[in-house]
Structure 1
Amino acid sequence: MRTGDEILLDQASGEEAEMFLDLRNLKHLVRHGEGQRLEFKMKVKFPEKIVKELVAFANSDGGHLFVGVSDDGNIEGSKFVDEDQFVLEKAISTYCFPAFTYHVYRIPLENGRSVLVYHVFESIDKPHFVQLDSEPNPVCYVRVKDRTIQASKEMKQILRRENEEGLTFAYGAHEQWLMEYLRLNEQITLAEFALQCKLPIWLASRKMVLLVLSRVLKIEPGENQDHYSLR
């Protein structure tokens, strides 16, 4: 069942967001802390790190980033809101690709400051990447609960192909073993599946990706390894 906060975030979209997320609604959301679709940043000190959160929202269910709110929920606002917006949007255009859709606006506070709000929409052009000067390769990020994590090779394939039609997979002995295993166990990793079925990792990966895309399995991305379970 969806929470009231999720309904509130769904309603706050596009031009409607500026009217809907006023200070009262902001306080309500912040009280519940960071989550799958909420991230707080007190300052835009390291914009190259903040864009990872935005890309993760675009690759997942969308979300809101509040600049001027501390991790513990203290709403102080941004003292230099124009500068923060300029720096962050420059970082988005410099480090993120392909472009994703977002709406930015401000919520004024009683202290004369404002909270800068970035509402990122779930993308139809996944996956999105961050390419920093300090990293040799672009990195894809996804949102898992209140964390932003690097997507695995399998997760990137799933994001890229999630709207693909006409997918088929062979239901052989390995798939049968996997179904039986998951009826008795909550989840399994790619490495465990490959080991138990004596499969090369590339083949096990291909089978897992197809089963997720066919909506037989669901994937829970992890920092070290993903976990798969029956849908």
Structure 2
Amino acid sequence: MTLQEVKYLASQGEGLKIEFKKKAAFPEKIVKEFIALANTAGGVVMIGVDDDGTVSGQKFIEEEIYVMEKAIQELIFPKLDYELFRIDLNAKKGVAVFKLEKSSNRPHFLKVDKKRHSFIRVEDRSVQASIEVWEILKRSKNPKDTVFTYGRKEEVLLKYLAESEKITLKEYSKLAKIPKFLASKTLVRLVLANVLRIHPQESEDYFTLREQGV
């Protein structure tokens, strides 16, 4: 990767597939960006780029790289693959670009105090994945024909979505008068069966009917 390519990427601004970091301070927090990108659509994390896209570089960029690689290795599970590019701006400053593909081993997660935290990318933010997103990512790794049983709870849901634009887990649970865990399982199954589409959000995910052929 060349400096010209780095400046071009930086000029795009942060988004679904691009994240800027001035420096590798608090690497235990930055790794969530790596997880989110790998779990969603892939992308790049750029160290030495300001929030406004200025490629200002960072002194001792090799130390920034060391800190981040150590955090990636120790905190992200399962192992995360990436490409690393180091670009020197001058004798003192450089930029590091970590390039990630959409991972075939997703969902990746951050393990802290025996707890697993997974993240996905929503526009230009990395947000914690809901239980439903986690299940969909995990089960979609090994595609199989998902049995679509059409009962009362499915009928209520599809009838509602034929008249309304979207529905949340809480709304569906209340509408169908079923426990949240059962509503969750039903929604996940219908997403995997390509009947519904999930729209991850920072606060609460919502679901819509999937258009034919999409």
Q: Name the SS for the 2:202 alignment partner.
A: coil
Establish whether residue 214 from structure 1 lines up as the match of residue 209 from structure 2. Answer: no
Q: Name the SS for the 1:196 alignment partner.
A: helix
User: In structure 1, what is the Cα distance between the partners aligned to 2:19 and 2:92?
Assistant: 22
User: In structure 1, what is the Cα distance between the partners aligned to 2:70 and 2:126?
Assistant: 21
Cα deviation digits, residues 42-80 of structure 1 (max 9, x gap): 000111011110011111111100000011111111211
User: In structure 2, what is the Cα distance between the partners aligned to 1:26 and 1:187?
Assistant: 39
Cα deviation digits, residues 167-192 of structure 1 (max 9, x gap): 11211222222222222222110010
User: In structure 2, what is the Cα distance between the partners aligned to 1:121 and 1:93?
Assistant: 17
User: In structure 1, what is the Cα distance between the partners aligned to 2:131 and 2:153?
Assistant: 21
| Matching residue of 2:171 | 192
User: In structure 2, what is the Cα distance between the partners aligned to 1:92 and 1:220?
Assistant: 27
| Matching residue of 2:47 | 67
Cα deviation digits, residues 115-163 of structure 1 (max 9, x gap): 100001111111111113xx45120111111110111111111010013
Which blocks of at least 5 consecutive residues in structure 1 are unaligned?
Answer: 1-17
| Matching residue of 2:63 | 83
Q: Runs of 4+ in structure 1 displaced over 3 angstroms?
A: none
User: Displacement of 1:24 after TM fit?
Assistant: 2.2
User: Displacement of 1:100 after TM fit?
Assistant: 1.5
User: In structure 2, what is the Cα distance between the partners aligned to 1:40 and 1:209?
Assistant: 33
User: In structure 1, what is the Cα distance between the partners aligned to 2:30 and 2:51?
Assistant: 14
Establish whether residue 28 from structure 1 lines up as the match of residue 8 from structure 2. Answer: yes
Establish whether residue 169 from structure 1 lines up as the match of residue 148 from structure 2. Answer: yes
Instruction: Report how many residues are paired.
Output: 209
| Matching residue of 1:54 | 34
- CA separation of 1:146 and 1:179: change in aligned 2, threshold 3 A: same
1:1-231 equivalent positions in 2, closer than 5 A: 18=1, 22-109=2-89, 112-132=92-112, 135-162=113-140, 163-231=142-210
Q: Name the SS for the 1:138 alignment partner.
A: strand
**Identity fraction in percent:** 43
User: In structure 1, what is the Cα distance between the partners aligned to 2:160 and 2:91?
Assistant: 58
Q: Name the SS for the 2:146 alignment partner.
A: coil
Cα deviation digits, residues 20-49 of structure 1 (max 9, x gap): xx2223222222210010000000011101
Q: Name the SS for the 2:58 alignment partner.
A: coil
Asked whether the equivalents of residues 118 and 134 of structure 2 are also in contact (C-alpha less than 8 Å), the reply is yes
Q: Which moved more, 1:174-183 or 1:144-153?
A: 174-183
Which blocks of at least 5 consecutive residues in structure 2 are unaligned?
Answer: none
TM-score normalised by L of structure 1? 0.86
RMSD: 1.4
Asked whether the equivalents of residues 145 and 193 of structure 2 are also in contact (C-alpha less than 8 Å), the reply is no
TM-score normalised by L of structure 2? 0.92
Residue identity matched to 2:15 = G
User: In structure 1, what is the Cα distance between the partners aligned to 2:152 and 2:178?
Assistant: 12
